[in-house]
Amino acid sequence: SVTRHYNFDIRLKNVTRLCQTKSMVTVNGKFPGPRVVAREGDRLIVRVVNHVPNNISIHWHGVRQLQSGWSDGPSYITQCPIQTNQSYVYNFTIVGQRGTLFWHAHFSWLRATLYGPLILLPKHNESYPFLKPYKEVPILFGEWWNVDPEAVIAEALQTGGGPNVSDAYTINGLPGPLYNCSSNETFRLKVKPGKTYLLRLINAALNDELFFSIANHTLVTVEADATYVKPFKSNVILITPGQTTNVLLKTKPHYPNTTFFMLASPYFTGLGTFDNSTVAGILEYVNPSGSNNAPNSSTILKPTLPAINDTSFVANFSSKLRSLNNAKYPSNVPQTIDKSFFFTVGLGSSPCPKNQTCQGPNNSSKFAASMNNISFALPSIALLQQHYFIRENSKSVYTTDFPIVPLDPFNYTGTPPNNTRVSNGTKTVVIPYNTSVQVVLQDTSILGAESHPFHLHGFNFYVVGQGFGNFNSSVDPAKFNLVDPVERNTVGVPSGGWLAIRFLADNPGVWLMHCHFDVHLSWGLRMAWIVEDGKLPNQKLPPPPPDLPKC
């Protein structure tokens, strides 16, 4: 294994899409950002220098950060943000992981433009558990905003609502020909006949789960969130923000005189109007005679995508994801649990019922999202810093009383209660080192059922069960899959349903868990786990690096 160095210069760059030119925050002037590559076992050292007016921090989404929690990156959770003209060095080792992940900004909505692929290759002497692909191609889904996304979230927090819909979806930063003024900004995947390509799909969009399909081609899913899964075929993939999926694409045996579109469009179950538009890229066979088939010189085929609210497709697709669970890559799903939690997740207290007290993130009448009635408020200094130096700080910026069950049990997917008693708080759950944890995440229908892609920092978890309606603790656990559940870091809590995950808390530190829709995250749909040090030296969080930013 080796040490790999990267420099991330955060600077402004003018970028034009949909005939709008915007000065945007970038890494090294690139949009999407640069590719970071490492092998399992390598150390990554990334020096981030902030040359823009915004505060920033960078998160290595899905990297376990074993005993390197200071490099995880969420602002005010594991570090204070990097201020203008300051720098910070992220320094961590890739332990026991290989596959596709991504990195992104973890401050406000800067992820809109600050994201890029994080490719973890197997060790030198190891191969994939599937046929070696001819080529590997990262495909990043994102969003394009004609306005500044920072202004959008500022408004959404101020008024409690507002337009939080982007102007286009993008593939590798390009909206594609189905949007106005965008036909020159189209991602083209050039392929040869009779080959197998590994597509590394990454959903970096802020607020949208996406369906993805390529006309007339089948995709074989082989990996989810950098864990191998039992391969399965489908025409359409569902990928939520925060998820990464590796698929194999086998090209036609002979050169087809056809242009195949690849399309992505949203899966959305929430309330409100929605921009149901589609990003297109082109799968382009390179003509053996040398010339490419231009899109207008041949037949054009477009794939059919599910309807925007096709929850049964989504349930069916997620039920197919099973960990590989063979001798080489066994499933380590905890068979017994030490601590069990039940968390409601949903949008909270607006519109506030008459004569009731409802608290949103800012004041009573504003929009909130909450878990177990708590809307998470960001602290003034980083939780990990406070946790590490707790004895030196008499006054804590957080409390350890995050409720392990909802304060007001009710019929979660039935008629909403009058008052959900949402309050603000920086509340955490403290668990001892090596606790085996089970969490049931229950969607609520207070403002209508909605799918929530939940992400856990610092761990992979196993998705042992899911269903629609209310979780039934006397019946449902008997049906849990404790053999080959998918192992991942982000999973959609079904719209109007529940999901059960398990993980072993073998990583000391402070770990955020949140909805990966940035608008829900900003409204408070997050909480933090504090995993205590173990007894042995290699079970403790090392001291912070000297350049850890200050708030």
Q: In the bound complex, what is the minimum distance in angstroms from residue 242's beta carbon to ligand C2O? A: 5
Closest approach of Cβ 238 to ligand C2O, in Å?
Answer: 18
What's the min distance (Å) between Cβ of 108 and ligand C2O? 12
Query: At CA 407, angle to CA 401 and CA 409, rounded to 5?
Result: 145
End-to-end CA distance of the chain: 35
Residue with Cβ nearer ligand C2O (75 or 420)? 75
Q: Is the dihedral of CA 453, 514, 50, 54 positive or negative?
A: positive
- Single out the residue of 17, 22, 59, 217 in contact with ligand C2O (rule: CB under 6 A): 59
User: Which residue, 17 or 514, is less far from ligand C2O as judged by CB?
Assistant: 514
Closest contact distance (angstroms) between CB of 526 and ligand C2O is 8
Give the pair of three-digit tokens for residue 461. 């978890």
- Asked if 201 contacts 237 with a C-beta cutoff of 8 angstroms, the reply is yes
Nearest to 501 by CA among 521, 540, 538, 529: 529
Q: Is 17 in the site for ligand C2O (CB under 6 A)?
A: no
Site for ligand C2O (CB under 6 A): how many residues? 11
Edge to edge, the sheet with strand 497-505 lists: 423-425, 374-376, 369-371, 339-347, 435-443, 497-505, 461-468, 487-488
- Rounded Cα distance between 479 and 59, Å, is 35
For 21, counting Cβ atoms within 10 Å of its Cβ (0-12 exposed, 13-18 middle, 19+ buried), the class is exposed
Tell me the three state secondary structure of residue 522. Answer: helix
Question: What type of residue is 50?
Answer: N
Closest C-alpha to 368, from 354, 387, 352, 383: 352
Binding residue for ligand C2O, selected from 217, 366, 514, 520, defined by CB under 6 A: 514
The nearer residue to ligand C2O, 65 or 278, going by C-beta atoms, is 65
Instruction: Write the binding mask 211 to 250 for ligand C2O: x where contact by CB under 6 A, - elsewhere.
Output: -------------------------------x--------
Question: Which residues, at least 6 apart from 525, have a Cβ–Cβ distance to it below 8 Å?
Answer: 345, 369, 370, 371, 375, 376, 452, 514, 515, 517
Q: Is 74 in the site for ligand C2O (CB under 6 A)?
A: yes
Binding piece for ligand C2O, criterion CB under 6 A, among 182-190, 248-256, 381-389, 512-520: 512-520
Which of these, 434, 404, 171, 386, lies nearest to 283 by C-alpha position?
A: 171
Closest approach of ligand C2O to the CB of residue 102, in Å: 8
Q: Which is nearer to ligand C2O, 97 or 350 (CB)?
A: 97
Report the nearest approach of ligand C2O to the CB of residue 393 (Å). 24
Structure tokens at 436: 């085996």
Q: Measured from the CB atom, is 322 or 455 closer to ligand C2O?
A: 455
Closest to ligand C2O by CB, 60 vs 268, is 60
How far apart CA 53 and CA 33 sit, in angstroms, is 19
SS (H, E, C) 85-116: CCEEEEEEECCCCCEEEEEEECCCCHHHCCEE
* 131-to-39, 134, 199, 222 alpha-carbon distances in Å: 19, 9, 13, 11
Stretch that binds ligand C2O, among 7-15, 132-140, 209-217, 511-519 (CB under 6 A): 511-519
Q: How far is the CB of 104 from ligand C2O (least distance, A)?
A: 6
Q: Residue 298 half-sphere exposure, CB side, CA atoms within 13 Å?
A: 19
Phi, psi of 168 (to 5 degrees): -165, 155
In the complex, the smallest distance separating the C-beta of residue 106 from ligand C2O, rounded to whole angstroms, is 6
Residue closer to ligand C2O (CB basis): 176 or 453: 453
Q: Name the residue with tokens 């505060």.
A: 55
**For ligand C2O, which is the closer residue by CB, 413 or 507?**
507
Compare residues 243 and 481 and give the one whose CB is closer to ligand C2O.
243
Report which DSSP code applies to 538. G
Task: Name the 3-class secondary structure at 358.
Answer: coil
CB of 151 to ligand C2O, least distance (A): 22
> Toward ligand C2O, which CB reaches closer, 108 or 311?
108
Can you tell me the distance from the alpha carbon of 445 to that of 427, in angstroms, rounded to the nearest whole number? Answer: 23
Q: CA 505, CA 467: separation in Å to the nearest integer?
A: 25
Q: Is 61 in the site for ligand C2O (CB under 6 A)?
A: yes
Letters for 448-487 (x = contact with ligand C2O by CB under 6 A, - = none) are -------x-x------------------------------
| Residues 170 and 142: beta-carbon distance below 8 Å | yes
Within 96-125, the residues that bind ligand C2O by CB under 6 A are: 104, 106
Least distance between ligand C2O and beta carbon 521 (Å): 8
Residue closer to ligand C2O (CB basis): 61 or 502: 61
Pick 244 or 470: Cβ nearer ligand C2O:
244
Per CB under 6 A, the list member of 280, 371, 512, 531 interacting with ligand C2O is: 512
Q: Which range of residues in 50-58, 211-219, 425-433, 509-517 is near ligand C2O by CB under 6 A? A: 509-517
- Min dist CB 76 to ligand C2O, Å, is 12
Q: Which residue's CB comes closest to ligand C2O?
A: 61
Q: Which two tokens stand for residue 255?
A: 């050169």
Nearest residue (CB) to ligand C2O, 62 versus 496: 62
| Contact residues for ligand C2O, defined by CB under 6 A | 59, 61, 74, 104, 106, 242, 455, 457, 512, 514, 516
